Structure 1
């Protein structure tokens, strides 16, 4: 086994064969960063590997990657908004596009850091949105809902590791009790929005390893969760409250209409870094 970074990086890149070479190289960088704390510059300058390192089972790591298991599952974590989150097959892996929700919320509420802001994250999964907002808005009162006990267990671990105060609850947005929920200044959600008919175009590393219930909706009613979120927010947002959702790029105008039809004003669709409709922001 190599004693410096560059030969190991080259060996890993060659052996990751299930992906195009450019992706394989990025994965090799991620592995060296995760296991040895070596950045790209360290690898390219061929720094020595840490003397007290614990070598992973590289054969097993490569085998899992070549089965197209997500690298985030192999190493057990991912980075979201600069914070390291534990992930597992029980939750969606946080995507860079989802960070757009955080940017929008911080734009609107960042100046409110001196007063309490009540936040609800619907379908919290790993807790990436709820935990990040609890960290970035330290005076906030953050609640995270999910229908999965396994997801909530993971979200609580992430909150504990990142010193975030979040109240996680099991709750189904499609069946919210009539009373006792309270009011919120900010409601945010990244709900299931991939239609079943889109599955044929998706990669194995998503289809085989991430939870169906967090990904898919029926083609017959692809906006079911947005209708539920908008109905809930219309009743439970404070007077100057805001609602933010991540969306299917195919349904930007349709999702905007869901909120407009329920009395929201200033409903805006925002594009992601790829120029695709990705988020909707709606105010009371």
Structure 2
């Protein structure tokens, strides 16, 4: 009877484009995705499912060794305990963004009335869908400039039974007569400068969308200025703005909000001790 450990050993040994520790984690992810085997199942050498359909392991290893993200290979990733479909049209959701979502859920957990939320640059819909699922009182809208991203976000919302309204909208060009007010404005906008690209891994540069990643070096805070300006007109006085940020520009991004009249601004660090998000309120 075929068991999990020999297959795990074979996969981790043949993922050669990454360090051994990363290769082992990828092998665990593959066995979980294709056969529903958890780490403990693999390490205790549980039998492989008897009626399993074997994927094309050669093709999977080939794609991984070209440094195609494993999330693209298997087509999904886990975000806040929910499984989201991903594609090259959207950023792959990351753990740092989970922290931003948990902060919002903590801040609004006790609200009993409707909480209108807009997620600017929704991508896969991971922020919008998670908030709709875990904040029952939320009324969530997701904006993006990419039709392909919105199509995937809508698909994720359907599969995860989340009530989210998605729309094409560019935060740099919001109509002057736009009248909606929000208790939460949240965004994980493009914030990597073009000059930083040289230090990035191929699995990001070659497979994730430039549109969602990069800003010009001559105005790296362009989206934060637009979000903060939007908030001066459309954020309720009891609401808050939440943004993920470039670690290099924590103080400068904080200053963007200060200049626009926000008086309660907090910068949060990620697990590596780097400036990673901001919460701003009036």
Q: 2:137 aligns with which of 131, 136, 139?
A: 139
The residue aligned with 2:70 is: 71
The answer for unaligned runs of 5 or more in structure 1 is none
1:207, 1:144 → 2: CA distance?
25
The residue aligned with 1:246 is: 244
- Secondary structure, aligned partner of 1:111: coil
- Secondary structure, aligned partner of 2:109: helix
What is the total number of aligned residue pairs between the two structures? Answer: 282
1:17, 1:165 → 2: CA distance?
42
Q: 2:271 aligns with which of 270, 273, 281?
A: 273
1:19, 1:55 → 2: CA distance?
24
The residue aligned with 2:43 is: 44
The residue aligned with 1:11 is: 10
The answer for unaligned runs of 5 or more in structure 2 is none
2:199, 2:82 → 1: CA distance?
30
- CA shift for structure 1 position 211: 0.1
The residue aligned with 2:53 is: 54
1:159, 1:31 → 2: CA distance?
24
The residue aligned with 1:203 is: 201
Q: 2:220 aligns with which of 219, 222, 228?
A: 222
2:197, 2:116 → 1: CA distance?
36
- Secondary structure, aligned partner of 1:85: strand
> Deviation string for 1:183-209 (max 9, x for gaps)?
000000000000000000000000000
The residue aligned with 1:231 is: 229
The residue aligned with 1:23 is: 22
- Secondary structure, aligned partner of 1:38: coil
- CA shift for structure 1 position 181: 3.8
The ranges of structure 1 where at least 4 consecutive aligned residues each deviate by more than 2 angstroms after the TM superposition are none
How much is the aligned-residue C-alpha RMSD, in angstroms?
0.7
Whether 1:154 aligns to 2:152 is yes
The residue aligned with 2:106 is: 107
The residue aligned with 2:254 is: 256
Matches within 5 A, 1:92-131: 92-112=91-111, 114-131=112-129
1:134, 1:234 → 2: CA distance?
24
Identify if the C-alpha distance between structure 1 residues 181 and 70 changes in structure 2 by more than 3 Å, giving closer, same or farther: farther
The residue aligned with 2:183 is: 185
